[in-house]
Amino acid sequence: MELSFAGFLDLQRTFAHQRATDDGHVRIGLVQLASDFTLENEWRQLLGERVELYSTRTPCSPTVTPEGLRNMAQSLTQSSALLVPGLPLDVLAFGCTSGSMLIGEQEVSRLINRAHPGVPVTNPWSAVKAAMRGLGARRIAVLTPYIGEVNYPIYQGLRQAGLEIAAFGTFGVLEDAEIPRIPAEAIRQAAEQLLLGTRADALFLSCTNLRTLELLDDLERQLGLPVISSNQALFWHALQLAGCVHRPQGFGALLTDSYPLP
């Protein structure tokens, strides 16, 4: 015989409990692009026992153009609000290098903080510049997957940040979904050719959708200089802002040596 709701309440037992205390983990909230195939998978390799990752997606254009990148600002607050309501986060990250540069670092933080007031916010553009300062790099080489209309503002922004551009290379890809399909060997060869006969303090591999994390250690040994990727620098910067000491091994000197914020 099926019980009525009143009868079910008589059957149901309710148990008292005490709310669990904070476990001391560092919690990172990540807003990544709908078309990013790479960032979260690379970050999963970097997480330690004390670092938790919570992510959401935000709409974006299928092509990487200045107009499409700037338009992402329209949905950034709404997308950020989807991140684990009710769970306190220690730091928030927006996962787009060229987008954060074209929208503007302060505007990205403002839009995300509308959904999560008071939480520190980072992005790859801010993170990479902070990493270069931490490394003491002044003269850098840059390799991106983007078209020239996106690369030129990056070049200008790096120059405005006080960096000298020793060399600048690109794969010239327009479709975002094609960026993760650039083979690791093509990236390795392009980096080697880009730096051939060029003096640089560091190499910057731009784009969160470019698969580079597992190349970093080998490239640093091969090229004899620090290699900074968007995803590596973003993770490093997020840890710094959260006050977390965590040093993933095998993914470049920036993380291994845990350079402090300048």
Between CA 116 and CA 120 the distance in angstroms is 9
Average pLDDT over residues 54-79: 97
Structure tokens at 259: 């350079």
Lowest mean pLDDT, pick from 1-15, 19-33, 97-111: 19-33
Query: What is the structure's pLDDT at 251?
Result: 96
The pLDDT of residue 11 is above 80: yes
The pLDDT of residue 245 is above 80: yes
Q: What is the pLDDT of residues 203-238, one digit of tens each?
A: 999 999 999 999 999 999 999 999 999 999 999 999
Q: How confident is the model at residue 170 (pLDDT cuts 50, 70, 90)?
A: very high
- Give percent of the chain with pLDDT exceeding 90: 92
The pLDDT of residue 260 is above 80: no
Average pLDDT over residues 240-251: 92
Query: What is the structure's pLDDT at 258?
Result: 62
pTM, rounded to two decimals: 0.94
DSSP state of 18: P
The pLDDT of residue 259 is above 90: no
Query: What is the structure's pLDDT at 129?
Result: 98
Query: What is the structure's pLDDT at 1?
Result: 86
Q: DSSP per residue over 82-134, as a string?
A: TS-TTS--SEEEEE-HHHHHHH-HHHHHHHHHTTSTT--EE-HHHHHHHHHHH
Cβ neighbour number for residue 150 with a 10 Å cutoff: 24
Dihedral over Cα of 97, 94, 244, 49: its sign: negative
Q: What is the pLDDT of residues 20-46, one digit of tens each?
A: 777 778 999 999 999 999 999 999 999
What are the chain's domains?
26-123+233-252 (3.40.50.12500), 127-229 (3.40.50.1860)
Average pLDDT, the chain: 96
Q: What is the pLDDT of residues 123-153, one digit of tens each?
A: 999 999 999 999 999 999 999 999 999 999 9
Average pLDDT over residues 161-166: 98
Average pLDDT over residues 69-80: 98
